[in-house]
Structure 1
């Protein structure tokens, strides 16, 4: 089996659980040396152990990305030191505190934009120049289906993810001519391993009437990330790839 990311290095933020973890594991299975990053060292160690047990290469760097340039730059520096270079950056880390517009205070607003927009902005700022110097690289951002299909409790989160989708296009224009491809993935309703049956059932309700008819698995997002990181996507720039079971692209017909 051909390893599509053989010889590549990757930093995946927020990769101690769920979508980020699936991406890190998939990248390593395809031959990449992965830096797993997140706030929880024990969860990070578990991901690294899983990857190494399967014969892959991985290291953990703890980072509590809060949006400050210093924290993002420190993570970039530590990942670069471990890997020698970073070929692929996946800006996955994000927070989603449920709240309405009326109940969102300034601290929550700033926290969401700090983690979801400022942190990846300054991490990309720190890593792309070396990619350009090395002759190429890949940046993959994570958007969200609720950026284009509003839900009543997600105004701040959806706006922050909309910013990341816009940055994807802007960065593709800015960095593409210099050899760095930038794209995004917009996940749909993705089930978490920690969900109970009631939560999973509620998520599936949001997918009623879609082509998939159910919530997705993190591995579906990981497969898309592998594609965008690989040479198979060498002619792909500035897209937002919807991996959402048809939630945003197809008319939902109520049963």
Structure 2
């Protein structure tokens, strides 16, 4: 029996990091078609050389018009997207609450902005897919925020809220259509991604085999 993700088209948003590479490898081994979107063409080219068979797109995911154009390009070249793993992130913090500067916040906020643009552009794809899946990487800091990481925790909390809203949209679309749920949005919380890259990749691949109605709106904590 083939893997449930086999043949599915998956977008890795901001996927040039180590976890993006592991996810691209795991997905291609399982038979998925993979498109990696990111802003650095050199990193994308290096990833494509390391993981044969993937497609790459250079795009600023914080630019709404650019993401709309990306969706059109992906549809034309590859078809409708079945899954998105949101990997746009980063860390800035420290210095207690007084150290939570606006410039740091604006840098961190790009992750939420990219998530909003990407999910809106590909939302109809995920709803229509027989196995639509969205996962984002969040932090255990959301449940226990520290003063020195308040900006970071606030952005992650907002990103989780957005993802849960997407999950509600998936559930409503299925109810309105009078059909069983086929799409799920999930939050993966980690304390740190270091050492968990393969686990995150495996969890995302496994998501395609999970029952959509059970998986939708789940918060899954991953640890070593």
Give TM class, smaller chain: 0.7 to 0.9
What runs of 5+ residues in structure 2 fail to find an aligned partner? 174-181
What runs of 5+ residues in structure 1 fail to find an aligned partner? 192-215, 246-255
Q: Which has the larger radius of gyration?
A: 1
- 1:34-54 deviations in whole A, cap 9, x for unaligned? 0112222222122222221xx
1:122 corresponds to 2:85:
no
Q: What TM-score, normalized to structure 2?
A: 0.85
- The alignment partner of 2:148 has SS state of coil
Q: Distance in 1 between matches of 2:210 and 2:183?
A: 15
- 1:122-147 deviations in whole A, cap 9, x for unaligned? 21111111333455511112211211
Give the aligned partner of residue 209 of structure 2.
231
Query: Offset at 1:223?
Result: 0.9
- 1:207-233 deviations in whole A, cap 9, x for unaligned? xxxxxxxxx3310111111112x1334
* 2:93–2:99 CA contact under 8 A, matched in 1: no
Q: What TM-score, normalized to structure 1?
A: 0.76
- Selected match of 1:65 from 58, 61, 86: 61
- The alignment partner of 1:156 has SS state of helix
Q: Distance in 2 between matches of 1:163 and 1:109?
A: 13
* 1:182–1:238 CA contact under 8 A, matched in 2: yes
Higher RCO (CA-CA < 8 Å; seq separation 6+): 2
Q: Distance in 2 between matches of 1:36 and 1:167?
A: 22
Q: Distance in 1 between matches of 2:165 and 2:56?
A: 30
Higher helix share: 2
- What's the Cα RMSD here? 2.1
Give the aligned partner of residue 185 of structure 2.
182
CA distance 1:9–1:188, change in 2 (3 Å): same
Q: How many residues align?
A: 214
